[in-house]
Structure 1
Amino acid sequence: MKKQWIGAICIFSTYLFTSCGAYFNQPLDTTRARIGENTSVISNVLKYPPKKKTVVGVYKFRDQSGQYKPVETGSTFSTAVTQGGTSILLKSLEESGWFVPIERENIGNLLNERQIIRNTRQEHSKDNRPVKLPPLLFAGVIIEGGVVSYDSNIITGGSGLRYFGAGASNQYRQDRITVYLRAVSTTTGRILKSVYTSKTILSQGITANLYRFVSVRRLLEVETGVTKNEPAQLAVKEAIDKAVELLIVEGIVDGIWKPDGGPEVVNLIKESYNKEKEQATSTKLFNREMKIRRGRNAMSAMAGASKIVGDYSNSAYAFGFDLKFRYLFKKDPHFGFGGSIGRFELENTGIFKQAYLTSAVNFEYNILPYDRLTPYAYVGVGTVLTKNLSDNFFKFQYGGGLEYLLTDRWGILLNAEHQLLGSDQLDQVTRGNKNDQIWHFRLGLNFYF
């Protein structure tokens, strides 16, 4: 019973504390209105002021996806994307410090109010002269575009665990919005620059429960959980902020806008933009960065346990180690080949114990070569030698494991290998018609150069 309670406590702890920030700050009362959240970090580009601010107008920037809010059952006519995109864009343009936004979305209201002012002043003027108002600002650039797509459930998943009436589960869903933005010259109608950005929206739910009879006719039931949904409006705001920033940066690179500070600032902005663009080019859907992290050559040092499957009973694990060299193909890092040397011991308790030397060549396949964590598998051939080099055994081997990169040069390896020998004399006895076999389990470090 004590072990079961310990298991239940471990399950609850694992799942609840992964979302402890939201779990221990649950809303129990109403809150006052507050200043809106900051959606994105101020870019280094926006720290440099422009030589001259550009007057821009936005007539409309709305949802063009036509996507309705997804629901589990039934139907809804609520849109998935906010319809206030114009207001969000105007705020982003103002916060950037590079533009002077003017009212164009409701220009009719503005013109009507100016007409009311003009008529009122003229009616109450003593000399009945025509009343003149200051001229309206005109935009040198019009900003167009919209939220062009809202993709629901681009990735969903979860995990769960249940043990003797105690269980916990975690579920998540990710949506994605895409924003296009373009700057149009009002004098020529030319599209000066067009950019697009995307932002994912995460929804996550964590639950834990306990169902157990603590005594006869005494049932204990406990259930708790938390669900977090990233606000779609904030996601739209962050995507628009990024689009405005990108519009400024690419405009500076192309010479459309000019920052205060001269060529030095322009070069700094170009350098930062090129790095970000390179990273964006290598990053695919689901935020997977397809970057070649691993060098073409690698040296590994591994140690662990070895076990013989032979003619004696009571086989035991004994110590062994390997040194490996690996070369990855330049054109396709999925594939590689290498060699290894090592020493290991084999033991049958109270019967047999012997040390061996080994060497092998392998052909390897990396399943996820661009990720930090990748499974891998390999096949190869080699030899097993007795310590005094008196006997030599041919072997065929295959294996696999996991590698996790701590940095782009250092990685941790976890490996399992099965060796099939061409002889039944490894343990110095022949029984039956099956050749001897060896299992290796290793843990080690990998260094790329």
Structure 2
Amino acid sequence: MRIFYKAILLLGIFLFSSCAAYFNQPMFQEPSRTGEFSKSTRLLLDLPPAAEPVEVGVYNFSDQTGQYKAVENGSTFSTAVSQGGTTMLIKALEDSGWFIPLERENFNNLSTERNIIRNTKQEYIKNLNPNEPPLPPLLYAGLLLEGGVVSYDTNIITGGMGARYFGLGGSAKYRQDRITIYLRAVSTSNGEILKTVYVSKTILSQAIDASFFRFVKFQRLLEAETGVTQNEPVQLAMKDAIEKAVHDLIIEGIQKQFWSSQGGKEVNDQLVADYLAEKEKDESTLLLDRLQVGREGLNSLGISGGGNLPDNDYSTQNLGFLGRLEYQRHFGRFFNVNLNTSVFKIDNGVQYDNIFGSLDLNGQFALLPNDKLTPFIYAGSGVIMSVLDPVDNSLDFGEPFFKVQYGLGVEYFISNKIGVKLYGEHNLVFTDKLEKAVNGKRNDYYYNIGLGLNYYFKL
């Protein structure tokens, strides 16, 4: 019975972890409904009104990837992305209120219908009403909007996790795809490309499942499983990217003074400032949401504190304190030289304890030098000596010993000047006399763990 309760508990955990999808499973046919907003629809609807909407024509905003939808056994004749890009773009232009979209995609149909109207009016004027007004002229576009979907990348990142124990198991998997579009505005008066914007949108797919398989009694098998899969619609992702592109085109057009809002310069400046702040953040973010940070200078001063754990001849090995000051000089993006001085306590309880000081010189290598979260490794050499007399705790510098050290850590940049770092370090001393006890051939070691701040500056 206890096993049954465990099974119910595990299944419950997995179900509640994705309860939004699990408890909204479709059970009945649903009527048609108005299409959903994307994440960027509100950006367009919240724009201030334009001083004067611009007539635009969209002949074709197409799928330029040439990709077909992938299946397990190859591919199908269904395309990977929607072929209705022109329709989505026209809807986005209409929603913004900054443009007057003109029919150009099916212009032949429009021309044919106008010819029918014109011929009918001519017959009506000739036979019945000579005062019948002529057919008004067509509007012409001051801008043409061109571009399309340029890429659809699948499986740019996949992953998951799972566990199974004694017949109980569960797993979670995810996959991320990406769609990319370009949109450009072309002047019809001289053919100049006024502006081009580039937007990408990720598409997330998730799957969570849980199962239970166990003989609970002789010839009695209990088996249960459940799961849920969520796939972000490609059409909605494409709509989101197009709407974001239209929004960006409007703001960049305001920046270049191609058009303006009704609120004038004050409203325009605020729109541009908000957009540039968002654009700066986007441009500092690499693929897979890796944030980049520009370094303020090639020099840094650091302070850190932590603990010291000895690995020596005594059986009692307690955690002592660690304090450190350091200076770093960077040579390029990846490499820097680190000079630091440390004060720490080696604590072996009642057997031995003393305060030590060390001076170290390290070479440090940053694995992801421009990322906001940067792992690093380092190695070097230094000298260590005791600074107190172990008998009366008076200031007394002991014999210096040569050592080498290596370590690894991670640094998180709060800004381009300040970084928070966490590190761990292994120190190998070339003597067995560090703690005044010699036992066997093994030299003394110790470990440092620290947390600190780095301040970056220019000389």
TM-score by length of 2: 0.83
Match of 1:230 in 2: 232
Q: Distance in 2 between matches of 1:104 and 1:62?
A: 14
Aligned length: 443
Deviation at 1:198, TM superposition (A): 1.6
TM-fit CA distance, 1:81? 0.9
222, 247, 250: which one aligns with 1:248: 250
CA distance in 2, matches of 1:7, 1:446: 47
The question of whether the paired residues in 1 share the 8 Å contact of 2:156 and 2:178 is answered with yes
1:421 aligns with 2:429: yes
Where does 1:147-166 land on structure 2 (aligned, <5 Å)?
147-166=149-168
The structure 1 residue matched to 2:302, chosen from 299, 302, 307, is: 299
Q: Aligned letter for 1:415?
A: Y
Per-residue deviation, 1:273: 4.0
Identify which of 185, 188, 194 aligns with 2:190.
Answer: 188
Code of the residue aligned with 1:444 in structure 2: it is L
Return the offset for 1:236: 1.0
- Identify unmatched segments of 5+ residues in structure 2: 390-396
Q: Distance in 2 between matches of 1:335 and 1:7?
A: 53
Q: After the TM superposition, which of the residue ranges 30-39 and 315-324 deviates more from structure 2?
A: 315-324
Summarize the alignment of residues 273-292 of structure 1 with structure 2, pairs less than 5 Å apart.
273-292=275-294
Relative distance call for 1:58 and 1:44 in structure 2 (3 A) is closer
> What is the alpha-carbon distance in structure 1 between the residues aligned to residue 301 and residue 23 of structure 2?
46
**Is residue 338 of structure 2 the alignment partner of residue 309 of structure 1?**
no
Aligned to 1:33: 32
Give the alignment's Cα RMSD to 1 decimal: 3.4
Q: What's the % identity of the aligned pairs?
A: 45
Q: Are 1:339 and 2:356 counterparts?
A: no
Q: Per the alignment, do residues 155 and 98 of structure 1 end up closer, same or farther by CA in structure 2, a change over 3 Å counting?
A: same
8 Å Cα contact 1:366-1:376 kept in structure 2? yes
1:364-375 equivalences in 2 (<5 Å): 364-375=364-375
Task: Give, in whole Å, the separation in 2 of the partners of 1:26 and 1:328.
Answer: 58
Aligned pairs for 1:342-353 within 5 A: 342-347=343-348, 352-353=351-352
Check the 8 A contact 1:11/1:161 in 2, yes or no: no
Give how far 1:421 is off.
0.9
Partner SS for 2:92: helix
Residues 4 and 448 (structure 1), Cα distance of their counterparts in 2 relative to 1, 3 Å cut: farther
Distance in 1 between residues matched to 2:7 and 2:422, nearest whole Å: 27
Q: Retained in 2: the 8 A contact 1:201–1:230?
A: yes
| Corresponding position of 1:239 | 241
SS in 2 for 1:33: coil
C-alpha change, 1:158 and 1:405, in structure 2 (3 Å) is: farther
Distance, in Å, in 2 between the alignment partners of 1:214 and 1:319 is: 52
C-alpha spacing 1:241/1:73, structure 2 compared with 1 (3 Å): same
Mean Cα displacement is larger for which, 202-211 or 327-336?
A: 327-336
Confirm or deny: 8 A CA contact 2:21 2:228 kept in the other structure: yes
Report the equivalent of 2:406.
398
Inter-CA distance 210–280: structure 2 relative to 1 (3 Å threshold):
same
Q: CA deviation at 1:173?
A: 2.0
**1:256 corresponds to which letter in structure 2?**
F
**C-alpha offsets along residues 5-53 of structure 1, whole Å, 9 cap, x if unaligned?**
879957973x655544333433333333222222134449963332211
What CA distance in whole angstroms lies between the structure 1 residues aligned with 2:249 and 2:62?
Answer: 18
**Separation (CA, whole Å) in 1 of partners of 2:4 and 2:296:** 44
Per the TM alignment, residue 383 of structure 1 is displaced from its structure 2 partner at its CA by 0.7
Is the CA contact (8 Å cut-off) linking 1:385 and 1:393 kept in structure 2?
no
Query: SS of 1:378's equivalent?
Result: strand
* Alignment partner of 1:89 is 2:89: yes
Structure 2 distance, partners of 1:67, 1:341, is 59
CA positional deviation for 1:160: 3.0
Q: Do 2:294 and 2:416's aligned partners in 1 also have CA atoms closer than 8 Å? A: no
Which string of whole-angstrom CA distances, capped at 9 and with x for unpartnered residues, describes residues 244-288 of structure 1?
122222222223223334333443344334434433433332332
Which residue is 2:393 aligned to?
A: none
Once the two structures are superposed, the pairs formed by residues 345-364 of structure 1 within 5 Å of their partners are 345-347=346-348, 352-361=351-360, 362-364=362-364
Partner-residue secondary structure (3-state), 1:26 = coil
**SS in structure 1 opposite 2:77?**
coil
